[in-house]
Structures are given as structure tokens and as C-alpha cells.
Amino acid sequence: MPSPSPSASRDVQRVSGWKRVVFEIVGRIVHLWGRSLRFEVTPEDNFALSYRDVPVAITLWHNRLFLGAEIFRRFRTHRPVYALISASKDGAWLEALFEIVGMRAVRGSSSKGGREAAAALIDVLRQGNDIGITPDGPRGPCYEVKPGALIVTRRAEAPMLLLGGSFESAWRLPSWDRFYLPKPFSRVRVTGELIDLSRVRDRAQSVEVLAAHLKRMNPDDCHPPCVVI
């Protein structure tokens, strides 16, 4: 098991009672929604997405998080994956959704108590589990890699599995990241790339390389054009 959540238990918000029951129903609908998507994956991408030799840091932009659970279900069930999720009420909803699809959470804050959060994720990797990272989350700016996103992989000497998603048809939410919601039964071009930046000493160079790879893998458009809601 990983180290305890970076936040004290009294500070971590949870979904319980009738809200939990309602969310279970909503979560199942979202789960079926994800299963309806038609993934297009090349053999090379499939190799990267299914890579299992060593634990990896699964890395994707915040606005592609909807794809994360379905990518886990289709390619990554061979080992647990943990993600750092805010101790806030919003984080409680995300944790509940992750539990429905079999993913796990380390609750805490990347800004408050950042060292404890990083230590918890490093422990998770060293114990043989994958972790999930959104390098521009949780508040942005969108598509801007934060240097802290590389601390965990550098210290754990772990490779990154970069995820890309290009949408045939999708809605976009009016959030800070203009979150993508692929329309049910639509096609999604999913890409995966393994990269190891843990031995690159220049942190600024690592940030630039990571940002360039993710931007190339995630074109900010879809055909026909996405609908903003």
C-alpha cells in the first residue's frame, strides 16, 4: 500500500450517503460512455500503452482526463494506478469516479504540502504501481508544464508514458482547460509514447521536451469542429 495521503484525514473531503449512491449511478453512465468510444491505435502506440516492464508515470493534459479511465481499462489493468487528487470536495467526486473504474487515489495538494505529495507518489512508484500526472493541472494555465510535474519521476527514476487524444467529435466545457468530452460512439485517435527524462539534469530542458511532445500528440482541434457548451 502507498504512504498515507499527504493531507490529514480530517482535511480530506469524501463523497458519502445518498450523494454516493447518486454518483454511483452517474459514474456507471460515464463508464458506459467511455466504453462506447472507438479507439484508433497503431501497433506502435499499442506497445507503449500496454508497456509493463517497469512502473510508469502516465502523463496527460488535464483536458484529456475523460480518456484516462478508459485507457486504464483497455491497456493498463496489469498493475494499479494511483493519481494525486485534491483533498477538496471537487477531489472527492473525482476519487469516487476513479474507484468505479478501478483506479486509486492519493489525496493531497500539489501546492500545499507539495513535498509530502511528491513523497507519497514516489513511494507508490517504488512499490511497483503506476501513477497518473496532469502536468498543467489542477488549475492551469492550460498546456503549460509545471516543473513540479517532473520531480516525482526524476527522484524515482521512472519513465513517463505520455498519452495523446485527438477527437473526431467532442464537446468542450467552458472551464480553464476547455475540457474535452468526446461524444458517445465517436472515434478517438489515441497515442502513447514512452520517454525517460529522469536523467536529464537540466530541469528547464526537461520541461520544454515534455511540453513539446504532449503538444504534438494532442492537437487542439477535432473534425468536425468541437462544440463549446
Could you give the C-alpha distances from 146 to 132, 187, 195, 225, in angstroms and in order?
15, 30, 17, 29
Closest of 96, 129, 110 to residue 16, by C-alpha: 96
pLDDT at residue 4 greater than cutoff 80: no
Kindly report whether the global pTM for this prediction surpasses the value 0.75: yes
Cell of 61: 493534459
Residue 207 DSSP SS3: helix
Q: H or E element: which one contains 131?
A: strand 130-133
Model pLDDT for residues 176-205, shown as the tens digit of each residue: 999 999 999 999 999 999 999 988 888 899
Within a 10 A sphere around the Cβ of 57, how many other Cβ atoms? 26
Could you give the C-alpha distances from 94 to 22, 42, 205, in angstroms and in order?
14, 30, 32
Residue 1's pLDDT band, with cuts at 50, 70 and 90, is very low
Domains and CATH numbers, the chain: 9-228 (3.40.1130)
Model pLDDT for residues 95-111, shown as the tens digit of each residue: 777 777 777 888 766 55
Summarize the confidence of residues 13-41 as an average pLDDT.
Answer: 83
Residue 37's pLDDT band, with cuts at 50, 70 and 90, is very high
